Chain A
């Protein structure tokens, strides 16, 4: 269990992680530094692939770290956004690159492994990629509309559960059919007795937050960073922490889901893991790992962490491997244990669709 200390103000700015930061990499104009090839790695510029669009949480991390890694590496790093298919397009591209250490990327297990399994991707396996390091973590909370909370007296998971059971509130929003938050939604009903009247899918985090703020649904999912934005709107409050990571310093009254059952971290907590193409030598990866460590420990990054509320957490090559190697199997067995397997999950999703039709 990791404890991250952060105050409320620091956390506030983090919708930025969902919102912004440049496309400078897109210009692709960082030239190669020609130091001559004397056998030292790296002797030319590097490419950092981000499998999401510019401005997302993962992109924001990379753009913070990249300039700080350039100094120890003595080379420039070009960020290459290859979004699509829930990060699968970029990941597949990475598996096909030369294993020379000059190209690496970020993936977000275990959500990444879940998507790979749910989409039944062929041709490569998450375990094929070589670990470098991890640099951060983020995850889900539940936010509740303030008017609904006031009327039904909701201030923790227990009272949220009661309010649904008594029919005092209506609607529970999650981020996309078949997604990790959809699975979590089903688990909250099956394992934690959250008896919502209807679970409503929205197209991602922004629309889900908007639906809770506007009162279209009484409660729903928000990442730890966008939950702060939701609170700032003055219309919603973060009530339940679905991660294992302690968020008390940001949300003093937040209720941990672990008080009501087993940890859900295997599907609600995600890492920023840097990986290299299959068969990239360990020596090159170590050089990159050291540069990542230097970047995460830089004063500049600490300040950035405080200002934006993104949680920076360095882990070495072994820690990185722990986050995703074998994670498909783990998710498979967790899904088996909790709802009977992926086929059952898909069936449940389809049943929900049929109910609507």
Chain B
């Protein structure tokens, strides 16, 4: 029956109409993702009412096409102008943009296309093969585990910080402080919310755009010429170099895609978290961690593989339980319901909607091939942007950044946020404070606080819920706690062990 559903899906997919909608979805997604601030939820929400006349399969394919395409598209602005097209491409900037400055934008864009596509292909295949196990995992992961994943991300500050360790910690804590603005997520406390515009806190996408796009434009304003400082090569050799570089790091692609898929399957964690975790893991496991941040190709590979891996992961809770892990999947669930499809076990049942689920997953597979072809051909040509005089680039990026930010929630405070964090970002870079550590704090603060509070409520205030599976039955929590301890204390123990051995 399952095999039958599978071949039914292949048949459904291989029609000209379906292929057209898939192609349209992916390309619209790449464009929406490429524009700063406008992420996948916005693109999908705009498309949603337009899917009404389509049959359910095509409608869903169009939506997941936009989703997948925009996850990749986010990397384009990240690499070319140091602006996260989508927040889940933030880590791509760290090494992608320095590559552009070195005149290697085409290579970086080719890496991004290849890593995105391969991670997508791999994770979707894994989803088709192992969906029952992933469904189990979603049910096993709860509030305590989400808190620990956030802490794991924060512990990564120790890994990604280069130079002064104290400055890294300081930056991370400052990032956490930013998330304390607004009504406390789990209590009635109002923090610094003198004006109602601050009730919901400071929007982290606005912070990201300020820290990276605006700060970089301020820096560029003081320079002559284009973004690229040297010769810009946009030829076949550059693109080939990108492809080979990705293929030379299959373990990074595999590992990052897995991180993306697993973290993505945890509702509420999502693509931005998985993006940073994957990047930090690439830094941690590298022989040359100091080269990250100045154009290390592996950084781009890890970041881009993880955010496309997240697409597959986030579909699990959305399709199997109707749980929207992110706003993108919330819109997708809306699309399913609009077309009379009910998220639930029937979506994975051969006598239910399994054929349609397979059609959607296979469409995503093909969508990744589209990303690969489109990304390697048309998108790499955008590398020419880095040659254009910054006098033309700066006004465009600044206007797009403000427009994109304001469109997010029509809150004037976001405009102020962009400006303030633009200045902060400019000086952080100048005085060697880790912007990555700061961003980790901003992204993870809310998740950590909210889930810590709820977890302690579950355990009547006992912290043992994180480490004692015998009483609470949460083995994944114990595993994550050990992982965090290893990350924090591993280097010290290793050094102590080596000293002891040599003594």
Which residues of A pack against B, CB within 8 Å? 12-16, 18-24, 26-27, 53-55, 63, 80-86, 88-89, 92, 118-119, 121, 171, 176-178, 198-203, 206-207, 209-211, 213-217, 229-230, 232-235, 307-308, 346, 349-350, 353, 355-357
Verify if B420 is at the interface (C-beta below 8 Å from A): no
**A21 and B460 contacting across the interface, CB-CB below 8 Å:** no
**A178 and B187 contacting across the interface, CB-CB below 8 Å:** yes
**A54 and B45 contacting across the interface, CB-CB below 8 Å:** yes
Interface residues of B in 403-458 (CB under 8 A from A): 407, 409-411, 450, 453-454, 456-458
Smallest CB gap from B329: residue in A: A19
On chain A, the residues within 8 Å of B409 by CB distance are 53, 81, 83-84
Known: A206-B267, A210-B321. A21 touches B48 (CB 8 A): yes
Known: A15-B343, A24-B49, A355-B461. A202 touches B454 (CB 8 A): yes
**A22 and B344 contacting across the interface, CB-CB below 8 Å:** no
The one of A23, A53, A121, A215 that contacts B46, using a Cβ cutoff of 8 Å: A23
**B411 and A20 contacting across the interface, CB-CB below 8 Å:** no
Known: A22-B46, A171-B458, A201-B454. A84 touches B200 (CB 8 A): yes
Known: A20-B333, A198-B457. A89 touches B188 (CB 8 A): no
The one of B143, B197, B323 that contacts A209, using a Cβ cutoff of 8 Å: B323
Verify if B54 is at the interface (C-beta below 8 Å from A): no
A217 to B346 CA separation, bound complex (whole angstroms): 24
Interface residues of B in 453-470 (CB under 8 A from A): 453-454, 456-458, 460-461
On chain B, the residues within 8 Å of A230 by CB distance are 322
**A203 and B188 contacting across the interface, CB-CB below 8 Å:** no
The one of B49, B267, B338, B458 that contacts A200, using a Cβ cutoff of 8 Å: B458
On chain A, the residues within 8 Å of B230 by CB distance are none
Q: How many A-B residue pairs have CB under 8 A?
A: 177
The one of B188, B196, B331 that contacts A178, using a Cβ cutoff of 8 Å: B188
On chain A, the residues within 8 Å of B450 by CB distance are 203
On chain B, the residues within 8 Å of A89 by CB distance are 196-197, 199, 411
A207 to B326 CA separation, bound complex (whole angstroms): 11
Known: A89-B197, A201-B457, A356-B456. A211 touches B342 (CB 8 A): no
Interface residues of B in 357-403 (CB under 8 A from A): none
Interface residues on B, range: 35 or more
On chain A, the residues within 8 Å of B295 by CB distance are none
Q: Please, could you name 7 A-B residue pairs with CB atoms under 8 Å apart, sorted by A?
A: A19-B337, A20-B332, A82-B410, A84-B409, A92-B196, A171-B458, A356-B456
Which residues of B pack against A, CB within 8 Å? 42, 45-49, 138-143, 183-188, 196-197, 199-200, 267-268, 317, 320-324, 327, 330-335, 337-338, 340, 342-346, 407, 409-411, 450, 453-454, 456-458, 460-461
The one of A13, A27, A200 that contacts B342, using a Cβ cutoff of 8 Å: A13
Q: Beyond A27-B46, A215-B139: 8 further Cβ-contacts under 8 Å?
A: A24-B46, A53-B409, A83-B200, A177-B186, A200-B458, A201-B186, A229-B343, A233-B320
On chain B, the residues within 8 Å of A200 by CB distance are 454, 457-458
A88 to B327 CA separation, bound complex (whole angstroms): 22
A215 to B183 CA separation, bound complex (whole angstroms): 28
**B338 and A13 contacting across the interface, CB-CB below 8 Å:** yes
Known: A26-B42, A177-B187, A178-B187. A16 touches B334 (CB 8 A): yes
**A213 and B321 contacting across the interface, CB-CB below 8 Å:** yes
Smallest CB separation, B399 vs chain A (Å): 16
The one of B184, B187, B196, B337 that contacts A20, using a Cβ cutoff of 8 Å: B337
**A13 and B337 contacting across the interface, CB-CB below 8 Å:** yes
Smallest CB gap from B338: residue in A: A16
**B199 and A12 contacting across the interface, CB-CB below 8 Å:** no
Smallest CB separation, B298 vs chain A (Å): 35
Smallest CB gap from A207: residue in B: B268
On chain A, the residues within 8 Å of B268 by CB distance are 203, 207
A176 to B188 CA separation, bound complex (whole angstroms): 9
Greatest chain A CB density within 10 A among B46, B196, B322 is at B322
**B342 and A216 contacting across the interface, CB-CB below 8 Å:** no
**A55 and B197 contacting across the interface, CB-CB below 8 Å:** no
On chain A, the residues within 8 Å of B140 by CB distance are 214
Q: 4 closest pairs, A vs B, by CB? A: A20-B334, A85-B199, A16-B337, A13-B337
A214 to B145 CA separation, bound complex (whole angstroms): 13
A307 to B461 CA separation, bound complex (whole angstroms): 44
Smallest CB separation, A275 vs chain B (Å): 18
Greatest chain B CB density within 10 A among A92, A214, A217 is at A214
Smallest CB separation, A148 vs chain B (Å): 14
On chain B, the residues within 8 Å of A176 by CB distance are 186
